[in-house]
Amino acid sequence: MTKLDLRVRAIGKKWLWIQATLAFTFLYLPILILIIYSFNTSKFNAIWRGFTFDWYRSLFSVRTLGIASSSSAGIWTALNNSLLIATISTLLATVLGTAIALALERFHFPGRKAVETLLFLPIIMPEITIGISLLVFFTLVFRIIENLTGIRINLGLPTVIIGHVTFNISFVTITVRARLAELDPILEQAAFDLGANEWRTFWRITLPLIWPSVFSGALLAFTLSLDDFVVTFFTTGVGSMTLPLFVYGMIKFAVTPAINALSTLMLLASLLLVLSSLRMKKN
Protein backbone atom coordinates (compact mmCIF):
# COMPACT_ATOMS: atom_id res chain seq x y z
CA MET A 1 0.00 0.00 0.00
CA THR A 2 1.48 3.34 -1.09
CA LYS A 3 1.77 6.47 1.01
CA LEU A 4 -0.95 8.09 -1.10
CA ASP A 5 -3.35 5.26 -0.29
CA LEU A 6 -2.56 5.55 3.41
CA ARG A 7 -3.10 9.30 3.29
CA VAL A 8 -6.44 8.92 1.45
CA ARG A 9 -7.57 6.33 4.01
CA ALA A 10 -6.57 8.61 6.89
CA ILE A 11 -8.49 11.54 5.36
CA GLY A 12 -11.52 9.32 4.75
CA LYS A 13 -11.41 8.08 8.34
CA LYS A 14 -11.16 11.66 9.60
CA TRP A 15 -14.19 12.76 7.55
CA LEU A 16 -16.11 9.73 8.77
CA TRP A 17 -15.49 10.80 12.36
CA ILE A 18 -16.56 14.35 11.56
CA GLN A 19 -19.78 13.20 9.91
CA ALA A 20 -20.54 10.84 12.81
CA THR A 21 -19.92 13.65 15.31
CA LEU A 22 -22.23 16.02 13.42
CA ALA A 23 -24.93 13.34 13.17
CA PHE A 24 -24.84 12.49 16.87
CA THR A 25 -24.74 16.18 17.76
CA PHE A 26 -27.86 16.79 15.66
CA LEU A 27 -29.62 13.90 17.38
CA TYR A 28 -28.62 14.42 20.99
CA LEU A 29 -28.03 18.17 21.32
CA PRO A 30 -31.79 18.92 21.72
CA ILE A 31 -31.96 16.31 24.51
CA LEU A 32 -28.96 17.91 26.21
CA ILE A 33 -30.61 21.34 25.96
CA LEU A 34 -33.81 19.92 27.45
CA ILE A 35 -31.85 18.53 30.43
CA ILE A 36 -29.95 21.80 30.96
CA TYR A 37 -33.11 23.92 30.89
CA SER A 38 -34.78 21.64 33.43
CA PHE A 39 -32.50 23.41 35.95
CA ASN A 40 -33.48 26.88 34.72
CA THR A 41 -34.78 29.37 37.29
CA SER A 42 -36.96 31.14 34.72
CA LYS A 43 -40.50 29.96 33.98
CA PHE A 44 -39.80 30.26 30.27
CA ASN A 45 -37.53 27.78 28.50
CA ALA A 46 -36.14 30.33 26.06
CA ILE A 47 -34.55 32.49 28.78
CA TRP A 48 -31.79 31.27 31.10
CA ARG A 49 -31.96 32.95 34.51
CA GLY A 50 -29.87 30.68 36.71
CA PHE A 51 -29.44 27.20 38.14
CA THR A 52 -32.00 25.58 40.45
CA PHE A 53 -33.44 22.23 41.53
CA ASP A 54 -36.81 23.81 42.32
CA TRP A 55 -38.57 22.31 39.29
CA TYR A 56 -37.63 18.80 40.40
CA ARG A 57 -38.79 19.51 43.95
CA SER A 58 -42.03 20.99 42.63
CA LEU A 59 -42.91 17.70 40.94
CA PHE A 60 -42.93 15.91 44.29
CA SER A 61 -44.40 18.64 46.49
CA VAL A 62 -47.95 19.78 47.10
CA ARG A 63 -46.98 23.43 46.83
CA THR A 64 -45.71 24.01 43.33
CA LEU A 65 -43.21 26.64 42.28
CA GLY A 66 -44.26 28.78 39.38
CA ILE A 67 -47.03 26.47 38.17
CA ALA A 68 -50.57 26.09 39.36
CA SER A 69 -51.50 23.17 41.58
CA SER A 70 -54.02 21.99 39.02
CA SER A 71 -51.32 22.04 36.36
CA SER A 72 -48.96 19.98 38.53
CA ALA A 73 -51.74 17.51 39.30
CA GLY A 74 -52.53 17.36 35.59
CA ILE A 75 -48.92 16.43 34.81
CA TRP A 76 -48.98 13.48 37.22
CA THR A 77 -52.43 12.36 36.08
CA ALA A 78 -51.27 12.42 32.46
CA LEU A 79 -48.08 10.54 33.40
CA ASN A 80 -50.05 7.91 35.32
CA ASN A 81 -52.34 7.42 32.31
CA SER A 82 -49.34 7.12 29.99
CA LEU A 83 -47.65 4.56 32.24
CA LEU A 84 -50.87 2.58 32.66
CA ILE A 85 -51.54 2.51 28.91
CA ALA A 86 -47.92 1.66 28.09
CA THR A 87 -47.75 -1.14 30.68
CA ILE A 88 -51.01 -2.86 29.70
CA SER A 89 -50.47 -2.46 25.95
CA THR A 90 -46.90 -3.75 26.27
CA LEU A 91 -47.98 -6.86 28.16
CA LEU A 92 -50.73 -7.65 25.65
CA ALA A 93 -48.57 -6.88 22.62
CA THR A 94 -45.68 -8.95 23.98
CA VAL A 95 -47.83 -12.03 24.62
CA LEU A 96 -49.68 -11.79 21.31
CA GLY A 97 -46.60 -10.80 19.31
CA THR A 98 -44.54 -13.69 20.71
CA ALA A 99 -47.35 -16.16 19.96
CA ILE A 100 -47.68 -14.85 16.40
CA ALA A 101 -43.91 -15.04 15.88
CA LEU A 102 -43.89 -18.67 17.02
CA ALA A 103 -46.81 -19.51 14.76
CA LEU A 104 -45.24 -17.87 11.70
CA GLU A 105 -41.80 -19.36 12.25
CA ARG A 106 -42.73 -22.87 13.38
CA PHE A 107 -45.95 -23.70 11.51
CA HIS A 108 -47.35 -23.53 7.99
CA PHE A 109 -51.04 -22.74 7.75
CA PRO A 110 -53.48 -21.22 5.22
CA GLY A 111 -53.25 -17.44 5.13
CA ARG A 112 -49.71 -17.32 6.50
CA LYS A 113 -48.52 -14.92 3.81
CA ALA A 114 -51.52 -12.68 4.40
CA VAL A 115 -50.73 -12.52 8.13
CA GLU A 116 -47.10 -11.61 7.36
CA THR A 117 -48.29 -8.83 5.06
CA LEU A 118 -50.71 -7.46 7.66
CA LEU A 119 -47.94 -7.35 10.25
CA PHE A 120 -45.92 -4.91 8.16
CA LEU A 121 -48.83 -2.52 7.58
CA PRO A 122 -48.69 -0.77 11.00
CA ILE A 123 -44.96 -0.19 10.44
CA ILE A 124 -45.14 1.27 6.94
CA MET A 125 -48.49 3.06 7.24
CA PRO A 126 -48.53 6.69 8.44
CA GLU A 127 -49.66 7.01 12.04
CA ILE A 128 -52.41 9.44 11.10
CA THR A 129 -53.90 6.77 8.82
CA ILE A 130 -53.88 4.25 11.67
CA GLY A 131 -55.41 6.81 14.05
CA ILE A 132 -58.23 7.79 11.68
CA SER A 133 -59.03 4.17 10.80
CA LEU A 134 -59.20 3.22 14.49
CA LEU A 135 -61.45 6.20 15.20
CA VAL A 136 -63.81 5.20 12.38
CA PHE A 137 -63.77 1.58 13.56
CA PHE A 138 -64.55 2.44 17.19
CA THR A 139 -67.28 4.87 16.18
CA LEU A 140 -68.94 2.27 13.97
CA VAL A 141 -68.71 -0.52 16.54
CA PHE A 142 -69.97 1.67 19.39
CA ARG A 143 -72.91 2.83 17.25
CA ILE A 144 -73.86 -0.77 16.46
CA ILE A 145 -73.65 -1.75 20.14
CA GLU A 146 -75.77 1.23 21.13
CA ASN A 147 -78.42 0.38 18.52
CA LEU A 148 -78.56 -3.28 19.62
CA THR A 149 -78.33 -2.92 23.40
CA GLY A 150 -78.99 0.73 24.15
CA ILE A 151 -75.64 0.95 25.96
CA ARG A 152 -73.58 3.97 25.00
CA ILE A 153 -69.81 3.48 24.96
CA ASN A 154 -67.34 6.34 24.62
CA LEU A 155 -63.68 6.59 23.80
CA GLY A 156 -61.33 6.28 26.77
CA LEU A 157 -58.38 4.39 28.17
CA PRO A 158 -59.52 0.99 26.76
CA THR A 159 -59.67 2.34 23.21
CA VAL A 160 -56.23 3.92 23.56
CA ILE A 161 -54.82 0.61 24.84
CA ILE A 162 -56.37 -1.27 21.91
CA GLY A 163 -54.89 1.27 19.50
CA HIS A 164 -51.41 0.92 21.01
CA VAL A 165 -51.60 -2.88 20.99
CA THR A 166 -52.54 -2.71 17.31
CA PHE A 167 -49.23 -1.18 16.20
CA ASN A 168 -47.03 -2.65 18.96
CA ILE A 169 -47.78 -6.26 18.00
CA SER A 170 -45.90 -5.80 14.73
CA PHE A 171 -42.71 -4.57 16.38
CA VAL A 172 -42.73 -7.36 18.97
CA THR A 173 -43.43 -10.03 16.36
CA ILE A 174 -40.62 -8.93 14.06
CA THR A 175 -38.13 -8.69 16.94
CA VAL A 176 -38.97 -12.13 18.37
CA ARG A 177 -39.19 -13.78 14.96
CA ALA A 178 -35.68 -12.60 14.08
CA ARG A 179 -34.39 -14.48 17.12
CA LEU A 180 -36.47 -17.56 16.34
CA ALA A 181 -35.00 -17.68 12.83
CA GLU A 182 -31.51 -17.99 14.36
CA LEU A 183 -32.58 -20.63 16.90
CA ASP A 184 -31.44 -24.15 16.09
CA PRO A 185 -34.55 -26.37 15.86
CA ILE A 186 -32.45 -29.37 16.90
CA LEU A 187 -32.62 -28.14 20.51
CA GLU A 188 -36.41 -28.38 20.53
CA GLN A 189 -36.33 -31.72 18.74
CA ALA A 190 -33.96 -33.05 21.38
CA ALA A 191 -36.41 -32.01 24.10
CA PHE A 192 -39.21 -33.84 22.27
CA ASP A 193 -37.02 -36.96 21.97
CA LEU A 194 -36.40 -36.87 25.72
CA GLY A 195 -40.14 -36.98 26.40
CA ALA A 196 -41.01 -33.31 26.88
CA ASN A 197 -44.33 -32.10 25.49
CA GLU A 198 -44.89 -28.82 23.63
CA TRP A 199 -45.53 -26.70 26.75
CA ARG A 200 -42.54 -28.03 28.69
CA THR A 201 -40.31 -27.56 25.68
CA PHE A 202 -41.50 -23.99 25.27
CA TRP A 203 -41.00 -23.05 28.95
CA ARG A 204 -37.70 -24.90 29.44
CA ILE A 205 -36.00 -24.51 26.04
CA THR A 206 -37.59 -22.03 23.65
CA LEU A 207 -38.57 -19.19 25.99
CA PRO A 208 -35.20 -18.94 27.83
CA LEU A 209 -33.39 -18.82 24.48
CA ILE A 210 -35.63 -16.15 22.96
CA TRP A 211 -36.16 -14.20 26.20
CA PRO A 212 -33.65 -11.41 25.34
CA SER A 213 -35.56 -10.69 22.10
CA VAL A 214 -38.90 -10.86 23.92
CA PHE A 215 -37.64 -8.35 26.48
CA SER A 216 -36.23 -6.13 23.71
CA GLY A 217 -39.56 -6.22 21.87
CA ALA A 218 -41.42 -5.39 25.08
CA LEU A 219 -39.04 -2.51 25.78
CA LEU A 220 -39.54 -1.17 22.25
CA ALA A 221 -43.32 -1.48 22.58
CA PHE A 222 -43.27 0.30 25.95
CA THR A 223 -41.21 3.16 24.56
CA LEU A 224 -43.40 3.58 21.47
CA SER A 225 -46.58 3.49 23.56
CA LEU A 226 -45.28 5.97 26.11
CA ASP A 227 -44.22 8.40 23.38
CA ASP A 228 -47.16 8.00 20.99
CA PHE A 229 -49.22 11.08 20.17
CA VAL A 230 -51.08 10.63 16.85
CA VAL A 231 -52.88 7.33 17.53
CA THR A 232 -53.60 8.44 21.10
CA PHE A 233 -55.04 11.74 19.86
CA PHE A 234 -57.62 9.97 17.68
CA THR A 235 -58.56 7.23 20.18
CA THR A 236 -58.59 9.11 23.48
CA GLY A 237 -61.63 10.39 25.34
CA VAL A 238 -62.55 12.27 28.50
CA GLY A 239 -60.35 11.36 31.46
CA SER A 240 -57.68 9.61 29.38
CA MET A 241 -55.21 12.46 28.86
CA THR A 242 -51.66 11.20 28.33
CA LEU A 243 -48.39 13.05 28.87
CA PRO A 244 -47.71 13.80 25.14
CA LEU A 245 -51.24 15.22 24.80
CA PHE A 246 -50.80 17.23 28.00
CA VAL A 247 -47.52 18.76 26.78
CA TYR A 248 -49.15 19.56 23.44
CA GLY A 249 -51.93 21.38 25.28
CA MET A 250 -49.38 23.37 27.32
CA ILE A 251 -47.60 24.55 24.15
CA LYS A 252 -50.58 26.81 23.46
CA PHE A 253 -49.71 28.74 26.63
CA ALA A 254 -46.22 28.04 27.99
CA VAL A 255 -44.14 24.94 28.66
CA THR A 256 -42.44 25.42 32.03
CA PRO A 257 -39.16 23.71 33.04
CA ALA A 258 -41.31 21.34 35.13
CA ILE A 259 -42.02 19.48 31.89
CA ASN A 260 -38.28 19.42 31.18
CA ALA A 261 -37.62 18.03 34.65
CA LEU A 262 -40.24 15.32 34.20
CA SER A 263 -38.87 14.48 30.74
CA THR A 264 -35.35 14.23 32.19
CA LEU A 265 -36.54 11.77 34.83
CA MET A 266 -38.30 9.72 32.16
CA LEU A 267 -35.14 9.79 30.04
CA LEU A 268 -33.13 8.50 33.01
CA ALA A 269 -35.64 5.69 33.52
CA SER A 270 -35.44 4.80 29.81
CA LEU A 271 -31.64 4.66 29.99
CA LEU A 272 -31.84 2.30 32.96
CA LEU A 273 -34.19 0.04 31.00
CA VAL A 274 -31.86 0.04 28.00
CA LEU A 275 -28.83 -0.77 30.17
CA SER A 276 -30.71 -3.61 31.83
CA SER A 277 -31.68 -4.93 28.38
CA LEU A 278 -28.06 -4.83 27.20
CA ARG A 279 -26.91 -6.56 30.38
CA MET A 280 -29.53 -9.28 29.89
CA LYS A 281 -28.36 -9.86 26.33
CA LYS A 282 -24.77 -10.31 27.52
CA ASN A 283 -25.87 -12.88 30.07
113-146 residue pLDDT tens: 888 888 888 888 888 988 999 999 999 999 998 8
Report the percentage of the chain scoring pLDDT > 70: 88
Report CA-CA distances (Å) from 225 to 15, 77, 168, 264.
37, 16, 8, 18
Q: What is the pLDDT of residue 66?
A: 44
Q: Which of 217, 233, 227, 212 is nearest to 266 (CA)?
A: 227
pTM (2 d.p.): 0.77
Would you state the pLDDT for residue 63? 45
Nearest to 39 by CA among 22, 57, 15: 57
- pLDDT bin (cut points 50, 70, 90) of residue 70 is very low
Measured CA to CA, the distance from residue 275 to residue 141 in angstroms comes to: 42
Strand partners, 51: 40
Give the Cα separation of 161 and 119 in Å (integer).
18
pLDDT for the residue numbered 69: 45
Q: What pLDDT, in 10s, does the model give residues 258-281?
A: 778 878 887 887 777 777 766 765
pLDDT over 70 (residue 103): yes
- Kindly report the average pLDDT of the chain as a whole number: 81
Question: Phi/psi zone of residue 2: left (φ > 0), alpha (ψ -120 to 50 degrees), beta?
Answer: beta
Residue 67 has pLDDT above 70, yes or no: no
Confidence of residue 43 (pLDDT cuts 50, 70, 90): confident
Within 10 angstroms of residue 215's Cβ, the number of other Cβ atoms is 18
Domain range 68-255, CATH architecture: Orthogonal Bundle (1.10)
pLDDT at residue 281, as a whole number: 59
Strand partners of residue 159: none
- Residue 164 in this model has a pLDDT that exceeds 90: yes
Q: How far apart are the first and last CA of the chain?
A: 42
Q: Of 75-89, 96-110, 153-167, 252-266, which gets the smallest average pLDDT?
A: 252-266
CA distances to 29, 142, 143, 149, 217 from 146, rounded to whole Å, are: 51, 6, 5, 5, 37
- The reported pLDDT for the residue numbered 3 is 65
